[in-house]
Structure 1
Amino acid sequence: MTDHVNDQLQPMPDDWRRALAVVAHPDDLEYGCAAAVASWTDGGREVAYLLATRGEAGIDTLDPATCGPLREREQRAGAAVVGVTEVEFLDHRDGVVEYGLGLRRDIAAAIRRHRPELVITLNHRDTWGSTVWNTPDHVAVGRATLDAAGDAGNRWIFPELVEQGLEPWDGVRWVAVAGSSSPTHAVDATPGMERAIRSLLEHRAYIEVLTDQDPEEYCRTFLTANAQAAAARFGGRPAVTFEVFSR
């Protein structure tokens, strides 16, 4: 793996109009890149969210039948704060998402529906910075998203999608991975940071079981610290970072 630690981060490409963000759980995008999303929607770009699960296994004290709808509501509210109105759920089971043809097909279908130029996902590698183990759901969804960006443009992969009226879309130009330990690009986090904090705070039921800290203080501390950590590599500006794969 290439070591980018001493490299300066490049600005994200900006010659696009539509993005689709694909992650495993409610809150993944709010932890990962909501400040960037806020800046993009402010600029008139369209961003839609696709979640593989409803996060129903995420709160130990809540039965999944109760937790799933609650976390869906929190996700829709968090998305709205940063200007995202299209939020879809695939209904894969939280905690046991499997990488495979079914997941690739579901994501490829969504890419064909939304026809994005930019696809966003979350860290698909085994660890976070080599010291914290990633979850199987993140790995499965991230890897499937990288693959589905190509699947979406090939009519002979999942031909049943064409039969369903979903013509191939070969217009994905980049897949941007948030939360990567090897970032290449960044977005200035300052304009969207306050909305990113409010967006993450919409996941209050989930956050309150994670920490005894005041929820707003927790959200602010987490997001600002992550953004500030990238500043030295982005001209001194707090930033949301991405590892960008061109297509």
Structure 2
Amino acid sequence: MTEQLKPMPEDWRRALAVVAHPDDLEYGCAAAIAQWTDGGREVAYLLASRGEAGIDTIAPAECAPLREREQRASAAVVGVGAVDFLDHKDGVIEYGLGLRRDIAAAIRRHRPELVITLNHRQTWGHGEAWNTPDHVAVGCATLDAVADAGNRWIFPELTEQGLEPWNGVRWVAVAGSDRPTHAVDAAPGFERAVRSLLEHRAYIEALTDEEPETYVRDFLTTTTSMASEHFGGRPAVAFEVFSR
């Protein structure tokens, strides 16, 4: 990244964020979401799974409701009340027509102008780390489902269910991309982003021996600082934005 990042578009009212697991948005872009909801915009969350395979010491049947509760509490911290789960199986989410249909249905239901998802490419950080299959599947399916949602002849059963086509998505913003084009100032929403990620306490305590708030604050400080030299020296949440 050598060029300056552009400010995110602001002429929208509704967004839908689509990710694979609880905590994906909190690790990625909660500071931006907090700022958007503060400005009166509506943001809804759609999660493909309940993250039931994410904690080695807790069996999936017990883990799923725990992680769902943590996700709902986490979303509430940044002003998001609508949180839906698709119940695809954590760890083995498959890209395909079923996933595309489910996401297209949510897009038709929420009718967003902005859709947000997570890095859909095979690697993180210019190839330095491998991405998970779940992130790749959900990211790619989200990009495709935006077009599916606007075409009444793709998944016509959705129209029969009363979900009329929605062609109003103007941008798809990908968080965690190594090819960012736009950014949001992270400072106004940073403290709420910290609190939002801290709501995933069971997951964090299983992930690290570090004190949770220290771990969360250090992680988010690092990630929001990475784009600062390309955004006027301000800590930022960066996105790769695809216009439609």
Find the aligned partners of 1:74 and 1:36 in 2 and give their Cα distance.
19
Shift of 1:87: 0.1
Q: How does 1:156-167 map to 2 (within 5 A)?
A: 156-167=153-164
Q: What does residue 230 of structure 1 align with?
A: 227
Q: What does residue 41 of structure 1 align with?
A: 37
Question: Secondary structure at the residue paired with 1:106?
Answer: helix
Shift of 1:110: 0.1
Structure 2 residue aligned with 1:149, among 143, 146, 149? 146
Alignment RMSD: 0.3
Amino acid at match of 1:55: G
Q: What is the TM-score normalised by the length of structure 2?
A: 0.99
Q: What does residue 211 of structure 2 align with?
A: 214
% of aligned pairs identical?
Answer: 81
Verify: 1:9 aligned to 2:5, yes or no: yes
Q: What does residue 112 of structure 2 align with?
A: 116
Amino acid at match of 2:76: A
Shift of 1:229: 1.2
Q: What does residue 93 of structure 1 align with?
A: 89
Structure 1 unmatched runs, 5+: none
Find the aligned partners of 1:76 and 1:67 in 2 and give their Cα distance.
14
Amino acid at match of 1:182: R
Amino acid at match of 1:31: Y
Q: What does residue 46 of structure 2 align with?
A: 50
Verify: 1:136 aligned to 2:133, yes or no: yes
Q: Deviations over 1:191-240 (max 9, x none)?
A: 00000000000000000011111000000000011111110000010000
Structure 2 unmatched runs, 5+: none
Q: What does residue 63 of structure 1 align with?
A: 59
Verify: 1:179 aligned to 2:176, yes or no: yes
Find the aligned partners of 1:108 and 1:140 in 2 and give their Cα distance.
14
State the aligned residue count: 243
Q: What is the TM-score normalised by the length of structure 1?
A: 0.98
Amino acid at match of 1:75: Q
Structure 1 residue aligned with 2:25, among 2, 26, 29? 29
Amino acid at match of 1:27: D
Question: Secondary structure at the residue paired with 1:26?
Answer: coil
Question: Secondary structure at the residue paired with 2:136?
Answer: helix
